[in-house]
Amino acid sequence: MLSLKNIAADPPPEQKSRRVFDGSFLVLLVLTLVGGIAVAVVSGWGRVGDILLETFGFLTILAPKIGAGIFIAATLPILLPRDRVGRLIGRESGVRGLVVAAACGAALPGGPMMTFPLAAGLGVAGADMGAVVAFISGWSLLGLNRTLIWEFSFLPSDLVWTRYLLSLPVPVLLGLAARAVMQRRPA
């Protein structure tokens, strides 16, 4: 199981050598090849080529965002004082810390390329698992950017308000659940 550690206080663990072609890659490769052959049978090899061009075009747009997100995750623990992060959204911050983490997640305008590396960086910088879960859940369920721009534009406002108000306590409840699970976990 993945755990968030303080790299300044804990020595880095021995890195296992990672193989590029592991089992999950082979499963994805087989599914991709089967899908490509199915598209070729149904629509022809020209359509397969179009899809490949679209995919690599998308990757060229996505790769810098992923790189920036990984850079944020790597530098955040260095830039943020661990004791301040710990007091604000650490294990001892209580429900207040979960509310702060959920509110920060809700206010974050970025997509997953920014959110997940930022959450990982906060975890290494001193946030506990409950706060990281509340942060990601706040971003996912309460994202103000999505709610204001998309939901209010396309859905009836009473539906949006109902969904938002029902979702409001969920990130904090999930954060509490994550803390309870982590406390029961053997060290």
Residues with Cβ within 8 Å of residue 73, at least 6 apart in sequence: 117, 118, 120, 121, 124
Judge contact between 45 and 92, C-beta under 8 A. no
- Cβ atoms of 107 and 65 within 8 Å: the answer is no
| pTM beyond cutoff 0.85 | no
Cα separation of 120 and 21, whole Å?
25
Q: How many CA atoms within 13 Å lie on the side-chain side of 22?
A: 5
From first to last of its 187 residues, the chain has per-residue pLDDT tens of 445 655 555 655 566 776 778 888 899 999 999 999 999 999 999 999 999 999 999 999 989 988 888 888 888 888 888 888 889 998 889 999 999 999 999 999 888 888 998 999 899 888 999 999 999 999 999 999 999 999 999 999 999 999 999 999 999 999 999 999 998 877 5
First vs last Cα of the chain: how many Å apart?
A: 12
